[in-house]
Amino acid sequence: MLLLQAEATGNEIFKNIVNWFTTNGLNAVQKIVIAIIVLWIGFKVIGFVKRKLQASFEKHTLDATLRPVIISIVTVVLKILLIIAIIGYIGIPMTSFVALLGAAGLAFGMALSGTIQNFAGGILILVFRPFKLGDYIATQGFEGTVMSIKIFSTTINTVDNKEITLPNGSLSAGNITNYSAMENRRVDIKLQVAAGNNVNLQKIEADIKTICARNVQILQTPETSVWFHIGPGTVTIETRAWCKVGDYWTVYDYLQRAIYDYNVREGLPCPYTVIDWLKKQE
């Protein structure tokens, strides 16, 4: 039905253009030449406006997330208005074009429902701002730094330098963990040792806090805490230290190495398996 309507509208447009050429003759050719010149100049002016907008946004420190979207919308609107103005200047009847655009818009809307969903998702992301450029997020099974936020998709860069493009429709409707949203982030390190008389929990806690105090990137407030989880024949030592978001991976690596070296230096016993512990109790 839509295809037949679009075909009929296209035939009507063709007839209107032929009639217009027949009626206007040489004047029509002159108007077309002028229209092409105006179109060329108009695109140059729009490019100039685009560059001025970019410079203005940078000068007024507009959020980098919004800059490309606003510039794209303004550019497209200006080009559409320019083309409509040129068609009006030439004198081609607009009613047929409006009907064709309506039929084509409905057909494209049905065919590109997923794209429209992504467009709506992009608008939601830009309005509610669950993340911004440079944030480290986890979503849909991927983790990485947000590199670009476009109207249809968002691109993140993983820690192993993979570029992942996520559709905004599913992204806006799913769960998003933003690790960069808060100023501080907690680093959790676990160490498991065997339970026994040679495991002094108070000494271990004091030693680990001393290790944390040596690193200036580990914050004093909130204070580092050491938690102990007692299992069958084992003790899990969990260190919880705080740092700035940007220092997370550096602090994580430091604590992994420092606590491992401490474990070896102190000769803490390796944990038994549950079966080994049960045999020991017999």
pLDDT (tens, 9 = 90+) of the chain, 282 residues, equals 444 444 545 556 556 666 655 665 556 667 778 888 888 988 888 888 888 887 877 776 656 666 777 777 788 888 888 887 887 777 666 665 566 566 656 555 555 556 777 778 888 888 788 888 889 999 988 999 999 888 888 999 998 999 999 998 888 888 999 999 899 999 999 999 988 777 889 999 999 999 999 999 999 999 999 999 988 878 999 999 999 998 999 999 999 999 999 999 988 888 765 555 555 555
pLDDT at 35: 81
Burial class (CB in 10 A: 0-12, 13-18, 19+), 82: middle
Report, at the CATH architecture level, how domain 184-278 is classified.
2-Layer Sandwich (3.30)
Report, at the CATH architecture level, how domain 130-178 is classified.
Roll (2.30)
CATH number of 2-111: 1.10.287
Domain spans in the chain, listed from the N-terminal domain onward: 2-111, 130-178, 184-278
pLDDT at 2: 43
pLDDT at 70: 75
Per the listing, tokens 């994580």 go with 252
Is residue 224 left, alpha or beta, with left meaning phi > 0 and alpha meaning psi from -120 to 50? beta
